[in-house]
Structure 1
Amino acid sequence: MPTVNDLTERTVRVGRRDIFLTEAGSGPPVVLLHGGGAGATGASNYGRNIDALAEHFRVIVPDMPGYGRSTKEIDHEDPFGDLASAVRGLLDELDIDRSHLVGNSYGGAAALRLAMETQDKVDRLILMGPGGIGTTRGLPTKGLNALLDYYGGEGPTREKLTTFIRDYLVFDGAAVPDELIELRYQASIQPEVVANPPLRRPSGPSALRTLWRMDLSRDRRLAEVQAKTLVIWGRDDRVNRPSGAQLLARTMPSCDVYLAANTGHWVQWEQAALFNELARAFLS
């Protein structure tokens, strides 16, 4: 069984940016795209999944642009489109013609946007509480507000991050160790990140256009995505509304849904054994 000692790390130049990634295993390629919470990184978001999936697949886990050890640059006028372009460029640099994509939240939106734009690059999709689904069809959730407000006001604080993670990101906040929060907090206060937060409220004259670009459920290309898709959504998600799962099932031609009880927004972490088994079976 692969362990953390089997991981390799490297940085790949993709266009104007450097993308840091972690790899493990061999077989069909599976790219794991992390969420957009403050201090997120690929390896920390999927720390409970990489080894299990690497028993069957070549697992590739990038730090998304703006996060971790990747270049701190993102197009805020079309963030999901920019992320999709970065992932597509990464696949090209790795000489991967076609890959499974697994995306949580922000990463789910990037995976979905890539599938909408370049279907021949995507084999199967697993989406966990993806962003951009119904985001203009009501007021933001309290969890999403907490996420978007992290760098506002008095700026990033450990208390803000603790509240977001324990009150909104997961169902059982007591299950999240202090060490994980501290790791994410330190990553979130890197000077480059504070100066240019990767995820923030759209503002300025293009704000309305950006909001509409970020609501993928209003894009007619969503109904044209042919990739077999598994949506795994926490029933108690306080960041992105679980009703988005049924919206995707109604819209996408080949979309199955699994609603996980007693689970919040971070389903691959909270329900790791369940997620790993579902992912292995679906991608196989």
Structure 2
Amino acid sequence: MTQSNYKLNSAQIQVGKRTIHYSELGQGFPVIMLHGGGPGASGVSNYSKNIEALAEKFRVIVPDLAGYGQSTKGVDRADPFGDHANTIIGFMAELGIESAHLIGNSLGGATALRMALDQPAKVKSMVLMGPGGVGTTRALPTKGLNKLLNYYTGEGPTIEKLREFIREYLVYDGAAVSEAMIAERFKSSIDPEVIASPPLRRPQGIPNFRLWDFTRDPRLLRCQVPTLVLWGTEDLVNRPNGAQQLQSRMPNCDVVLFSKTGHWVQWERTNEFNAISMAFMTEHSPE
């Protein structure tokens, strides 16, 4: 998660009762990059290999989702996707952004999808990498998702549990993940405020399937937002067949599958991700 030498502008903004930390780089039509929900995740760390490339053409804005990084902790466990979506919509309003491209990985992808269903006018296009909430209530959780949801249970967070999750379940080639990267995420994951209120953990039952699984939401069939789905064929957190589930339901959905790639397409296949995302968003940007 080591950054390049580019200089990010970082700030905090009040969204309702929450403080949302964000960084940005570049000029042009706004792109909001929404990170995943794994232990210790944050915006800039999730997209360290992508921000500079995309900022060559776009205004790239990278928030820490509520519950993560330097943003206010605590998330509505009954409807986390909706809570995150509402917060990012409020975040856009505070920044004076009428609409934006959304890039979302895992939890960030679920947040983007919920935004597109709730307020489609706010979303110019979406690039989704292994998004959460796609067919998740129709089958047992994957081993990787179980590892994520159980991180704060039992003996609580340990660096061994995090190392196993990242190297064996998050990416295809675990050897590519440095100990420094694991140590950085572990430090974030044991913030006392996070431990007191983990942002993503196993729900106690699912009271409303539609809120947890987009394939059960009839609005998906009517969602006209241009969408590019990027999924690793070896994703052990969210099942790759979610890509076909989205494409079969969404009117304007393109899919690219990456071989020998896990849950973190933007990090594992950096050059391809940057190029195809740039081209897709350029095609759907206002002139």
**Is the TM-score greater than 0.5?**
yes
When the two chains are superposed, the root-mean-square deviation of aligned CA atoms in Å is 1.1
Contact 1:136 1:212 in 2 (8 A): no
Tell me the residue number matched to 2:134. Answer: 133
2:212 maps to which residue? 214
CA shift for structure 1 position 6: 2.7
Structure 1 residues 220 and 195: alpha-carbon distance in aligned structure 2, compared to 1, 3 A threshold: same
Query: How many residues were matched structurally?
Result: 280
State the distance in 1 between where 2:179 and 2:55 align.
Answer: 27
Match of 1:189 in 2: 190
SS in structure 2 at match of 1:86: helix
Identity of aligned residues (%): 56
CA contact (8 A) 2:6 2:52 kept: no
* 8 Å contact from structure 2 (residues 206, 212) kept in 1: no
Q: Which runs of 5+ in 1 are unaligned?
A: none
TM-score normalised according to structure 2 size: 0.96
Aligned to 1:245: 243
User: 2:97 — aligned with what?
Assistant: 96
User: Could you say which residue in structure 2 is the equivalent of 1:280?
Assistant: 278
Instruction: Show the counterpart of 2:150.
Output: 149
1:84, distance to aligned residue in structure 2 (A): 0.3
What letter corresponds to residue 23 of structure 2 in structure 1?
T
Which aligned runs of 4 or more in structure 1 are off by greater than 6 angstroms? Answer: none
Matching residue within 205, 211, 224 for 1:226: 224
Matched, 1:165 2:159: no
Matched to 1:245, the amino acid is A
Contact kept? 1:233, 1:267, Cα under 8 Å: yes
Look up the equivalent residue of 2:27 and give its one-letter code.
S
Letter in 1 for 2:25: A
| Matched residue, 2:285 | none
Q: What secondary structure sits across from 2:206 in the alignment?
A: helix
The letter of the residue matching 1:122 is V
CA distance change for structure 1 residues 202 and 212 in 2, over 3 Å: closer, same or farther?
Answer: farther
- Normalising by structure 1, what TM-score? 0.97
Give the Cα separation in 1 of the matches to 2:210 and 2:175.
36
2:168 & 2:227 partners in 1: Cα distance? 29
The C-alpha deviation readout for 1:141-170, integer Å capped at 9, x for no partner, is: 000000000000000000000000000000
Distance in 1, Cα, partners of 2:7 & 2:55: 10
- Deviation of the 1:76 alpha carbon: 0.5
